Amino acid sequence: MGLFDFLRPKKDTASIARERLRIIVSQERGSRGGPDYLPLLRRELLEVIRKYVSVDLEAVKVDLVRDGEHDVLDISVSLSERDEGGSAPA
């Protein structure tokens, strides 16, 4: 310690914590207030889609949007570039 402090490698785990928290907190805030079935619906949709197309884990977005009198279930699936020419329906 002291004089030889510089020999100890700096760990900087705090920045890892910060990044992990940023991601999980924003993700959890996004689903907050929505119906409880949304995360499960999203996961099952993702599984079905992945049977046919290879997509990222983040490719499926499911939101409940209020549109005037109605609630609209908004489902969007983004396909990565290389799949677009294939048989994947958009």
Partner 1 sequence: MTQIIVVTSGKGGVGKTTTSASLACGLAQRGKKTAVIDFDVGLRNLDLIMGCERRVVYDFVNVINGDCTLKQALIRDKRLDSLYVLAASQTRDKDALTQDGVERVLKELAEDGFDYILCDSPAGIERGAFLAMYFADIAVVVVNPEVSSVRDSDRILGLLAAKTRKAEQGGKVKDSLLLTRYNPARVEVGEMLSIKDVEEILGIPVLGVIPESPDVLNASNKGEPVILEPQTPAAQAYEDAVARLLGEDRPLRFTQVEKKGFFSKLFGG
Site residues for partner 1 per CB under 8 A: 1-3, 5, 10-15, 17-18, 20-22, 24-25, 28-29, 32-33
Sign, CA dihedral 84-85-89-90, equals: positive
Q: Which is nearer to partner 1, 17 or 72 (CB)?
A: 17
Residue from 77, 67, 71, 66 nearest 42 by CA: 77
Beta bridge partners of 1: none
Q: Give me the least distance between CB of 57 and partner 1, in Å please.
A: 20
Q: Which is nearer to partner 1, 29 or 82 (CB)?
A: 29
Q: Give me the least distance between CB of 34 and partner 1, in Å please.
A: 12
Amino acid at 45: L
Residues written for the chain:
90
Q: Give me the least distance between CB of 15 and partner 1, in Å please.
A: 7
